[in-house]
Structure 1
């Protein structure tokens, strides 16, 4: 794999997004390699999966510049299908999963982090469900995961605001589970080791009961996100959002 690193240390599998030059923004290659990596770990003997990003941040989300230059309307359904498969693979994985956030986890990157069982973030991390800034809606199950953690009303408000949250505020709201003031990798090791000293099979069985009940809802949300995202990509506000992003200026939205 070129954009994803997979490594095993005893009973721990590490999946690292590896496009540090673009803050691990996800292009179609990375999406497919993440899906392949999650399938590989599912079949492995590991009991814990740790998801992280190389370089200065976890993931800035979808690679907007790459998708603008490489993805036409006909390719959109296939990309969204890959995103859906990837998220479902991670969410339903019969392993204990940890996302380790440093730097930024934004948009699709934040959706992916929230698909894990335990979300850890360094105290300097920034998280954001920031699709609204380019006239889009959350994808990657963002609606599902935000509602799970915040409830419907708060989830709507957070999605509409799209603001950047520091780790302390994200912890207070319940969007992350643990804020780490020191060495994030060491803290992740400690959490994984703590789990591995427990009857992991029983923990995974409990996880399976919850994910079996919720997977169908997540699939439905992913399907709705796909159709709604396609609709939003046709709007004037989305075009303005993209233009302002590329031109590094404030967008002028009109609601159209």
Structure 2
């Protein structure tokens, strides 16, 4: 068991639980590093199904605000973005069927990572938001790629620009979430049982054929997100968004 993530292995199923419940599983450097390290190991093991979920009341509230403020130097920023890139590419290209089980809120980077999975299922009262815009940033963690895949280009842009917090049902209605359930554990257990009675090798081979074709595009998007995010972090609007967030007030953006 790690400090910031918990790993459970049951037969062909590996479950990763993000484990910073008091911080709504916000992704700091330690969690991102441990998650990346474990994913590299899991990628090579003999499990056939990977579940990503969170401890406590949230899947992940996104990037940890303290980490964002601390990683102000270009070298530290590039290191963190490199770890995020590895996580997303590994989940997306994982030779297993992957499921993100949203036990609660999935926002910002948390949602980007969740969308890297083959299936996204959510508790009905979970909240979902691609809300980088609220602090003057752009999606990272492949958010642009996954939103476009699921929503189409025009709707992806509009949804990112709006940054709206949606219910899981609303997210399902536009295609960001595949299934919702009142009792997530029961729904997940039912689906895992169904998968274990399926020809998983066939499913995984299909996944790899489709996802490997798209992988260069995902890598390019991740690179562009890193460049774009570095620029956004220097803007007046980002600094205003951070100050407004920390002081619990509405930001006053000026487009600069």
- What TM-score range do you get, normalising by the shorter chain? over 0.9
Q: Which residue of 2 aligns with 1:154?
A: 155
Cα deviation digits, residues 157-207 of structure 1 (max 9, x gap): 0000000010111111011000102x2112111111111101100000000
Structure 2 residue runs of 5 or longer lacking an equivalent are none
The CA deviation at 1:65 is 2.0
The CA deviation at 1:234 is 0.4
Moved over 6 A (4+): none
The CA deviation at 1:42 is 1.0
With the length of structure 2 as denominator, give the TM-score of the two structures. Answer: 0.98
- 1:233 and 1:132 map into 2 onto residues whose CA distance is 12
The CA deviation at 1:146 is 0.2
Structure 1 residue runs of 5 or longer lacking an equivalent are none
- 2:121 and 2:199 map into 1 onto residues whose CA distance is 22
- 1:6 and 1:40 map into 2 onto residues whose CA distance is 11
Per mean C-alpha deviation after superposition, the further-off stretch among 170-179 and 185-194 is 185-194
Partner-residue secondary structure (3-state), 1:253:
coil
Does residue 226 (structure 1) correspond to residue 226 (structure 2)? The answer is yes
Superposition map of 1:105-144 within 5 A: 105-144=106-145
The CA deviation at 1:154 is 0.0
Q: Which residue of 2 aligns with 1:99?
A: 100
Aligned length: 255
- 1:219 and 1:49 map into 2 onto residues whose CA distance is 22
Q: Which residue of 2 aligns with 1:174?
A: 175
- 1:190 and 1:116 map into 2 onto residues whose CA distance is 18
- Root-mean-square deviation (CA, aligned residues, Å) is 0.9
Superposition map of 1:22-33 within 5 A: 22-33=23-34
- 1:44 and 1:8 map into 2 onto residues whose CA distance is 11
